[in-house]
Structure formats: C-alpha cells, structure tokens
C-alpha cells in the first residue's frame, strides 16, 4: 500500500493489480475505502494503548516478574525498608549456609559454594552466597577439588510453575498433557527396588530393628554408607544447579518432622513438593536445620565394587545420621517410601503408631482406617463422597487422634477412567506429576490403558486437589479399623467382626490373594502376605506395631473388621467377584454402626464372627459355604488357605511379646484352628 500524494492510497488486490481509494470513501474498483487518521505532522498513529515503560526488550522482560516480598516481619529488625532488606539478605545467607552444610563432603572442612538462582539466568541471581569469602581472592590448598572452585546454584522451594519450566526446558521426556499435568519419565526403573534398599546396622539399630527372615531391612555398615554418601554428594556438587525442598511430614503440629530433599531433577522436586506437606512462607522463613535429609543422586550409579552393592542401584538409610542416599534409580517413589520407613522408626519411639492405611471421616466425626494390599479396593473404598478424606496411604495414630503423614496422593493410573475414579481423574491437572504414562503426540491426551512404558503408571498431586479432603488432614481417634483382603480362593466371608487378638493376627498376616498364570496356562490364586499391610516399609518387628494397634483400639473403643472384596461361590475361575455395591453396603453399615447390632455366628476353621444379615446384601453370600455348589471343594480350599496362613505366621512365632509371652499366645490362638 502506498499514498499517491492526493490523500488516496493504493494497495495490491488479489490479482496483483493496484486499486486506489479516493477521498470520498470508495475505491476506484468498487472496494471499500481504508479509513486512516492523520496527525498534524502527517503521520499515522495507533492510539489504542500507551507505550510500554521500557527502552529495550531485556528491560521489558524485567517488568514481567516482580520480587516476592517477605510475608512476615523478620525477628530483631528495626523499622524501615532498608533494615528489612538487610535482614532478608541475612536470612537468605543463613538458608544457604544450612544447605551448604547439608552438601558438605565429610573429607573436606566446609560445604560447597552455593548461590540462589538458575545458572541460566545469571542476571537474576541474587548476590547472596553461602560463604562471604567466596567473593574474595584466596590461595587454594592441596585439598581443594574442582567442585570447590565453582558455585552450585540452588533452586530452593520452587513453585510448580517454575518447576514446569525447568523440566520442559532441561529434562528430556517432560511434556504438558492436555489437562495441564506434567508428564515425566523415571528412566530405567519404573518401580521401587526393595532388594537394593539397605539400612545401616549399628549398635543401636542392631537391637531395635527387625532383621533376618521375613524382614525388609537389608544391612550395610557405616563405612559403606559414607562411601555412597560421598559419591552422591560429589555428584550433586558437580552440577551447575540442584533443587532443594524444605518441607514437613505429619499434619500433627506436635509431631511434625522437618525434611530436606536435595535432588538433580525438577521432576523429583515437583513430586516431593506434592507429596510432602508444603510449608507456608512464614514457616519456611524459620525452617532452620532439617530433621532428615535425602540426597537424591539417582541419575548417577553406585560403584558395584563397593561392599554390599549387588547392582548399580542403592537406596541407603542411616538412622543415626538421619540421612538417606539414592543412587542408580530415578523412580520418585523411593523418596516417598524411604521417608515412610523413617516415620515407621521415629514415631513408635514417641509411642505413636505409624500406619500404611487409608483414612476417612464421617460428618459426625467418626473415623475409619482402611488397610489393604494392591487390588483390595483400599483407595476405592476409602474415597467416599459422603465422607471427608484425611489421607490415602500413610498415617499416624497419636494420643490426640489420627493425622496424615503426607501432603499429597500417589495414585495408580493404569486403566484410570473418569467414571470409575472421578476424583483422581479430576486431580490430574496443572501441578500434578504423571509418571511413565503414554499420550497422543499431537493432542497430548493421555491413554491410561497403554502399558508401553510400564503397568505401574502413577499420578502425584496435592491432597487439596481432592474436593472432599479434610484440611488440615487430622481427625479424632478411629472408630473402625477395616482390614481388606481380596480372597481369590473364595472362602473368606464378605465381612467378619474381629476381636482384638484376631485383629492383631490378621494385621500381622496382611493377607490378600492374587491371580497368577501357571505354566500350563491355567490361572489359580496365589496367596500374598505382607506384614502390617506394608512389610516393605516397616522397621520394627511386626508384633510391635500390632501391640500398639491393639492398645489404641482397646483404649479408644475401636472395632476391627475383616472385609473380603474377592471371590464368592468358588475360587477364581469358578466363582464370581463380590459385587462392589455389596461391599459398599457393608462398609456403610460399618460406618453407621448398624453392623455392630447385627446377629452373628462363628465360622469353622478361622473362627470368624459373621453377621446373618446386612441391609442391601443378599444374606446367602454372607457365609461362603452357602455359595459353593461343591461343599467338599469348599472345605478343601478352606483348609488349604488356613495352612498358608499358619505357614506364613511361623516367621513371627519366635518373637515374644507381653508378660510371660501371653500376648503372643493370644495372637496365635486367634489364627485358624484345624
């Protein structure tokens, strides 16, 4: 388009020829005239908005973000903005000194030089470091390493938005899904490595922890731990940047644990941001020294020639130092469950029972605990729109009631659907982490049925993403303790009321039955036992947790229940899965107290008290023998399962508890008799 000097403008039409608009509003070829305004100097202007207050593009970018101001007055400061600025600098310096101390190599006197900020944004990095002397010239000594000559940038308690940016920019395999969640890959390891998890055996833990047959605790010595710690710390110090999370465990403020997680991936930092309790700005300003520290150097392998190492992966716990080292695995669940193991050690020392369970609360304040292994329906049944969710996985039972250990949920995603699990489906949005899922390369829509990477696909999200979550995640003493079993043998009743000894027996057993393929292609049930419904994470002998559970149930009037969500009318292949609506009716009857008033009869072999009727549930299925057409097959299967229980419990019979071993005898007597 060009002016011809007469107030008319020419422009090219679709055929490449010129059209002219005259001053009367009509173009010479019939097209509408283009309206313009001329200022006094003859120039055309866009007056829709005022110009930006920047002279360069860098200056414009600097206007985009503003600094976060301190949320609370700093203790000991005088009035005035200048004094607050100084104290803020001092606070950051103390924070960095604490982080530097965490990253200190034990063969050197001081920790690394750490500075806040992303190394890719040097102009934005605050000039606050862990050591004042680092800004001055000094003479290196013979013990100085290359990593001691550089700064390690600390990305401290970043927000989800900032962690998204880090992951998308620097971590291959990071994408934003159609719902806004961050999709990530955990590398070669897509699940926990229990055979590579070790605990330092010292004079204290040798007597306190559960060692030997059946125990998840594999020993290592102090020296080997320090070798792996040095390897992890040196790796983290060699990086240009590390992510540091300072967070809490346990919603009970009297028994809260301060944890620090040092990691190399934004994925790990966001995962722990979601799974641990997020401190307020005020709490973060006064965080101080952590009670426990994780060094996640999962991208770097351990040395296979190191004593006790059997692979390139090692997850090491040192309870005396209150430290955990991760080498050779990037699976984020190792951090979550590692801290759970720590709580299983620390909390019982305070006479607090740590539990691998779900927990919800009714509108009248009645709390229920749900125990169950994978596939038993723990998540489904503890998620109830008519009740508040306190937590889905890890809890403490204190003198004040129950409290969630975590600040988030870690849900399985395989075959997830909006219809089956609407709360989990809706929680997978911005801020959530999706591990090892598969998505459409164009739309970024997730295919939750795709197992191309792994069947163990997971989502980690803050518990606030669940609409009926109770915040803070605490509640009164439980009224009901529900032990879930998916019995594929089809001989356990849909529901049984347990006495205290039976509750302890079945709690220690931690039974469920899975369906596994055999060599000839026939599928048959396989019994699975996991002590306290979480054997991989407990630190003390199972009977100690069981005794604490029985004591708390007795003192607070809680009732134990065994609920079978598995098969009825026969084993897997001949019987049918108990319908979920029936199980929900049973759980509802437990919650409202009506099942306590039902009539009961005792079963053979296991000696379980079963109700004769439950509202909304066919009475004939309440006693398993009624649903089997072949009574002899039922009796044979019942005795087979009872034998499996007895064989499993042999692991625990040598451990004596109670005065004159009385409690051990009571627990054994509560098992099957035949």
pLDDT in tens, 432-457: 999 999 999 999 999 999 999 999 99
Q: pLDDT tens digits, residue range 343-396?
A: 999 999 999 999 999 999 999 999 999 999 988 999 889 989 899 999 999 999
Catalytic residue among 356, 477, 497, 506: 356
Question: pLDDT tens, 536-556?
Answer: 999 999 999 999 999 999 999
- Mean pLDDT, residues 228-252 taken together: 96
Distance of CA 362 to the CA centre of its chain: 24
Confidence at residue 74, expressed as pLDDT on a 0 to 100 scale: 41
Q: What angle do CA 17, 22, 25 make, to 5 degrees?
A: 110
379 carries an active-site annotation: yes
Q: What is the pLDDT of residues 383-407, one digit of tens each?
A: 898 999 999 999 999 999 999 999 9
Is this prediction's pTM over 0.75?
yes
Is residue 192 part of the annotated active site? The answer reads yes
| Cα–Cα distance, 362 to 470 (Å, whole number) | 11
Kindly report which listed range (108-117, 547-556, 642-651) carries the lowest average pLDDT score.
Answer: 108-117
Distance CA 639, CA 643 (A): 6
Confidence grade of residue 55 (pLDDT, cut at 50, 70, 90): confident
Residues 89-108, mean pLDDT to the nearest whole number: 84
Core vs surface per residue 616-654: b (16+ CB within 10 A) or e = ebeeebbebeebbeeeeebbebbeebbebbeebbebbee
Tokens, residue 147: 């990593």
> What is the C-alpha separation between 381 and 588, in angstroms, rounded?
10
Q: Which of 384, 392, 393, 487 is catalytic?
A: 393
Q: pLDDT at residue 139 above 90?
A: no
Which among 313, 324, 326, 334 is positioned nearest to 291, based on CA atoms? Answer: 324
Residue 144 to residue 262: CA distance in whole angstroms: 23
Of 26, 30, 36, 25, the residue nearest 1 (C-alpha): 36
Active site residue 393: yes
Per DSSP, the three-state class of 39 is coil
CA proximity to 382, closest of 591, 237, 223: 591
Q: Among 116, 337, 497, 634, which one carries the catalytic annotation? A: 337
Closest-CA residue to 627 (of 564, 556, 585, 672): 564
Contact 21, 34 (CB under 8 A): yes
**Helix%, strand%, coil% for the chain, nearest 5:** 30, 25, 45
The helix/strand/coil state of 658 is: coil
pLDDT top residue among 91 and 549: 549
Q: Which of 197, 458, 552, 634 is catalytic?
A: 458
Q: Which of 626, 629, 625, 653 is nearest to 639 (CA)?
A: 625
Residue with tokens 């398993």: 624
Establish whether 131 is a catalytic residue.
Answer: no
Q: Which two tokens stand for residue 91?
A: 């606070």
Of 378, 387, 470, 591, catalytic: 378
Strands 323-327 and 314-318: antiparallel
Check pLDDT > 50 for residue 72. no
pLDDT of residue 4: 52
Task: Please name the helix (run of DSSP H) or strand (run of DSSP E) that holds residue 8, with its range, or none.
Answer: none
Overall average pLDDT of the 509-533 stretch: 77
Active-site option among 174, 379, 398, 627:
379
Higher pLDDT, 25 or 570: 570
337 is catalytic: yes
pLDDT tens for residues 148-190? 667 889 999 999 999 999 999 999 999 999 999 999 999 999 9
By mean pLDDT, which of 199-203, 274-278, 518-522 is the weakest?
A: 518-522
- Look up 172 and say whether it is catalytic: no
From 36, 107, 311, 374, active-site residue: 374
Alpha helices in 361-451 (DSSP H): 378-382, 422-427
pLDDT for the residue 18: 47
Query: What span, in angstroms and rounded, lies between the C-alpha atoms of 265 and 163?
Result: 9
Which residue in the list 113, 153, 189, 192 is annotated as catalytic? Answer: 192
The residue to which tokens 């720590």 are assigned: 342
């Amino acid at each position: 388009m060009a002016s011809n000097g007469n107030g008319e403008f020419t422009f090219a039409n679709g055929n490449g020829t010129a059209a002219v608009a005259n001053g009367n509003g009509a173009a010479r070829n019939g097209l509408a005239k283009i309206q313009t305004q001329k200022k006094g100097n003859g120039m055309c202007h866009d007056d829709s908005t005022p110009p930006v207050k920047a002279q360069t593009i860098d200056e414009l970018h600097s206007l985009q973000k503003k600094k976060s101001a301190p949320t609370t007055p700093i203790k000991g400061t005088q009035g005035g903005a200048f004094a607050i600025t100084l104290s803020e600098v001092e606070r950051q310096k103390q924070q960095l000194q604490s982080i530097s101390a965490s990253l200190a190599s034990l063969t050197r006197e001081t920790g690394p030089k750490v500075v806040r900020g992303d190394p890719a944004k040097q102009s934005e990095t605050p000039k606050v470091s862990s050591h004042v002397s680092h800004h001055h010239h000094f003479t290196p000594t013979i013990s100085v390493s290359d990593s001691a000559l550089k700064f390690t940038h600390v990305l401290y308690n970043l927000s989800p938005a900032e962690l998204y940016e880090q992951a998308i920019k620097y971590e291959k395999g990071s994408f934003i899904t159609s719902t806004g969640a961050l999709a990530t890959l955990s590398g070669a390891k897509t699940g926990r490595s229990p055979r590579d998890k070790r605990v330092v055996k010292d004079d204290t833990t040798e007597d306190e922890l559960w060692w030997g047959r059946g125990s998840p605790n594999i020993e290592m010595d102090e020296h080997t731990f320090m070798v792996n710690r040095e390897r992890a710390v040196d790796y983290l110090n060699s990086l240009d940047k590390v992510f540091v999370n300072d967070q809490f465990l346990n919603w009970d403020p009297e028994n809260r644990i301060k944890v620090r997680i040092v990691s190399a991936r934004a994925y790990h930092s966001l995962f722990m941001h979601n799974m641990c309790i997020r401190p307020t700005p005020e709490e973060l300003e006064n965080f101080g020294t952590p009670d426990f520290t994780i060094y996640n150097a999962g991208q770097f392998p351990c040395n296979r020639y190191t004593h006790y190492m059997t692979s390139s992966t090692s997850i090491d716990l040192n309870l005396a130092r209150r430290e955990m080292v991760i080498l050779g695995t990037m699976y984020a669940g190792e951090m979550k469950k590692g801290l759970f193991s720590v709580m299983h050690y620390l909390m019982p020392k305070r006479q607090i029972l740590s539990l691998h369970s779900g927990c919800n609360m009714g509108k009248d304040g009645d709390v229920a605990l749900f125990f169950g292994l994978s596939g038993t329906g723990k998540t489904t049944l503890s998620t109830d729109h008519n009740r508040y969710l306190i937590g889905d996985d890890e809890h403490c039972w204190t003198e004040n009631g129950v409290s969630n250990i975590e600040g988030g949920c870690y849900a399985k995603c395989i075959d997830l659907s909006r219809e089956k699990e609407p709360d989990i489906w809706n929680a997978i949005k911005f801020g959530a982490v999706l591990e090892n899922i598969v998505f459409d390369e164009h739309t970024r829509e997730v295919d939750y049925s795709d197992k191309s990477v792994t069947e163990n696909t997971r989502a980690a999200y803050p518990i606030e993403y669940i609409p009926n979550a109770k915040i803070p995640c605490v509640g009164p003493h439980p009224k009901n303790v529900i032990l879930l079993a998916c019995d594929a043998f089809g001989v356990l009743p849909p529901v049984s009321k347990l006495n205290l000894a039976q509750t302890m027996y079945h709690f220690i057993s931690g039974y469920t039955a899975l369906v596994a393929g055999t060599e000839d292609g026939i599928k048959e049930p396989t019994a699975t036992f996991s002590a306290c419904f979480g054997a991989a994470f407990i630190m003390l002998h199972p009977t100690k947790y069981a005794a604490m559970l029985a004591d708390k149930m007795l003192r607070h009037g809680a009732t134990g229940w065994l609920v079978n969500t598995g098969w009825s009318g026969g084993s897997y292949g001949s019987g049918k899965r108990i319908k979920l609506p029936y199980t929900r009716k049973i759980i509802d009857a437990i919650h409202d107290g009506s099942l306590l008033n039902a009539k009961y009869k005792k079963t053979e072999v296991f000696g379980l008290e079963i109700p004769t009727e439950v509202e909304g549930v066919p009475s004939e299925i309440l006693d398993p023998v009624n649903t089997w057409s072949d009574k002899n097959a039922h009796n044979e299967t019942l005795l087979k399962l009872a034998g499996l229980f007895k064989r499993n419990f042999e692991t625990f019979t040598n451990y004596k508890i109670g005065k004159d071993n009385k409690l051990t005898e009571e627990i054994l007597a509560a098992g099957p008799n035949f």
